[in-house]
Chain A
Amino acid sequence: MADKVDIAALAKLARLEVSDAELKKLETEIPEILAFVDTIQKADVGKEASAPALRNVMRADENPIESGTYTEKILDAAPARDGDRIAVKQVISRRKAAPSGQKKS
């Protein structure tokens, strides 16, 4: 199963620039790691494990922090700002996106 891995496609999915030299190295390393973890296929998990007891773990959305308290702190950490916003390149464009994702086989 693991020898069909398309590392370049995975890197694209993960938004990770990888050099050609590193790609070559990863093409050996990643399938080796996947072959190693593949041993779990031998485990007999039987029926699906029952769902654990659930409880609400979210804190109540009350007493909100006053608007602006952390604005400067957070913007200070951002590489680029535009007023009180974090500046970002246009995310949606009219140009049709190139097909991405790895091949399934």
Chain B
Amino acid sequence: MNLDTLTIAQARKDLDAKKYSALDLTHAYLEQIAKKDGEIHSYLEVWADSAREEAKAADAMITAGKQQPLTGIPIAVKDNILIDGRIASSASKMLENYRASYDATVIAKLKAQGAVFLGRANMDEFAMGGSTENSAYGPTKNPRDTSRVPGGSSGGSAAAVAANLALGALGSDTGGSIRQPAALTGIVGLKPTYGAVSRYGLMAMGSSLDQIGTLGKTTEDAHILFDAIQGYDANDSTSFPEPSAERKMRKVIGIPRTFLKEGSDADILAQFEETLDGLKAVGYTVRDIELPNIGYSLAAYYIIMPAEASTNLARYDGIRYGLSFDGKTVEEVNAKSRGVGFGPEVRRRILVGTFVLSAGYADAYYRKARSVRELIRADFSRAFESVDAIALPTSPVPAFTIGEKSDPLAMYAADIFTVPVNLAGVPAISIPSGTVERDGKKLPVGFQLVAAHGNESALFAIGKDVEAYNLRS
């Protein structure tokens, strides 16, 4: 087996044809991890022993003819998704020794299919960041250039797939945390429709924005993983009970062109136009559209997200679970535990969130941001009346060097093309398309497609056409 070209779809065929066993496959990945992850640091913990046992169980399922799409497929899981009995730290000192007391719904679904869990993937602490530099356990390196970041916050998940240290991965996306690292490492990342995948067992950051999604080498792989984890869950009150109505594909793609120029590198935009030309060549109509309020997305996002995060993170109080420091009063226990347990970016967001929700400011900031969010959501709904998908670059810049964006606002600005999607709750995918050169190295560029609520199938269909074009050029 050649791990460089192996996909989930291909491995399924090979496993079912008994070309190699699930145990062979898992061994191949564990070997790669032993060889390469010292440098990449995509994993916080590798579960070699249990992975071998899971692979053996998968082989038994295959022999019995009871295999499912992910039986025996070795994957990485972001460190903020709970697996019963395993440490889930969210890459924070706060939860360094915290063991999950139940399985997240997505994990229960993958276990039922006989997937193999290789380990927990590094991330920005509590999913706050876009580079994985905010991990309390050290940054992950980009496999394409180890002096650069893999993006974030699901940077460990993306780097693991890009470096052949996992065949696929789960991540979470609150403002681009799956799509941006997928773009920066040259793989496919899917953020499903808000409510399409249960969030039960995902550590909450911005509850109205968070969504578990998938990372793989191809659109097909991201799709296979998505099919395995999606669906209604009574344990998540925001998950959808009914599937969305099928939409007819018209092969029309909209470009919010006036918005694209904001802070984008020229060669990123040139690569984006080239991909659009490729889609035109296979019969797509590409048309300019207006999303009048999209320019307010970043500001609205950096109010709503910290507001929700500051309330969600109130649960880490040094009393129920996680790090705990003793004090004379309960306030002191809270303040000391949180003061030591949380890293700098988490503290910043808690304080910003506390401010925008505080009496006297909540109207001007939080409530105003929620109204602006409704406008942005309406802009998208209107646009999808006439187009199947909206295309944008995933990131305005390619992978940056470790330490380059030390100013928090510079880091936030890199989220410009991904946060509108979370505010609107619509699905989006990042597909690698072309490269740009920095310091003599070719760095991957992500092409982002956004579709209407529940219309993931449009993303997969157009995504395959982008991949077909990539192979030609």
Residues of A within 8 A of B (CB): 1, 5, 7, 10-18, 22, 26, 29-30, 32-34, 36-43, 45, 48-49, 57-59, 70, 73-74, 76-80, 86, 88-91, 93, 101-102, 104
Query: Closest approach, in angstroms, between the C-beta of A34 and any C-beta of chain B?
Result: 7
Q: Which of B16-24, B349-357, B445-453 contacts A (4 or more CB under 8 A)?
A: B349-357
B339 and A59 contact, CB distance less than 8 A: no
Residues of B within 8 A of A (CB): 98-99, 101-102, 234-235, 237-238, 293, 296, 299-300, 302-303, 310, 314, 317-322, 324, 327-331, 333-336, 338-340, 342, 344, 347-348, 350-352, 354-356, 358-361, 364-365, 368-369, 371-372, 374-375, 408-409, 412
Query: Closest approach, in angstroms, between the C-beta of B348 and any C-beta of chain A?
Result: 6
B351 and A11 contact, CB distance less than 8 A: yes
| Contact residue among B299, B314, B322 (Cβ-Cβ distance under 8 Å from A39) | B299
Q: Inside 8 A of A70's CB, which chain B residues have their CB?
A: 101
A32 and B368 contact, CB distance less than 8 A: no
Q: Inside 8 A of A91's CB, which chain B residues have their CB?
A: 330
- In the A-B complex, list the 8 residue pairs whose CB atoms are closest, starting with the nearest: A17-B339, A79-B324, A57-B237, A77-B321, A45-B371, A49-B374, A15-B334, A73-B101
Q: Inside 8 A of B328's CB, which chain A residues have their CB?
A: 89
A89 and B342 contact, CB distance less than 8 A: no
B327 and A43 contact, CB distance less than 8 A: no
Cα of A16 to Cα of B339 in the assembled complex, Å: 5
A39 and B347 contact, CB distance less than 8 A: no
A-B contact pairs, 5 of them (CB 8 A): A7-B351, A58-B237, A59-B234, A78-B320, A89-B333
| Contact residue among B351, B361, B371 (Cβ-Cβ distance under 8 Å from A14) | B351
| Contact residue among B101, B350, B372, B412 (Cβ-Cβ distance under 8 Å from A77) | B101
B355 and A10 contact, CB distance less than 8 A: yes
Residue from B336, B350, B356 with most neighbouring chain A CB atoms (10 Å):
B350
Cα of A93 to Cα of B317 in the assembled complex, Å: 19
B324 and A80 contact, CB distance less than 8 A: yes
Given contacts A14-B350, A16-B339, 20 further A-B contacts (CB under 8 A): A14-B338, A14-B351, A15-B335, A16-B351, A30-B355, A34-B355, A34-B356, A34-B365, A36-B409, A40-B368, A43-B293, A43-B296, A43-B375, A45-B371, A45-B372, A45-B375, A59-B234, A77-B320, A89-B330, A104-B360
Known: A15-B335, A41-B368. A89 touches B293 (CB 8 A): no
A89 and B329 contact, CB distance less than 8 A: yes
Q: Inside 8 A of A42's CB, which chain B residues have their CB?
A: 296
A32 and B409 contact, CB distance less than 8 A: yes
B237 and A37 contact, CB distance less than 8 A: no
Residue from B314, B330, B369, B412 with most neighbouring chain A CB atoms (10 Å):
B330
Q: Inside 8 A of B335's CB, which chain A residues have their CB?
A: 12, 15-17
A59 and B237 contact, CB distance less than 8 A: yes
B320 and A18 contact, CB distance less than 8 A: no
| Contact residue among A26, A37, A73 (Cβ-Cβ distance under 8 Å from B351) | A26
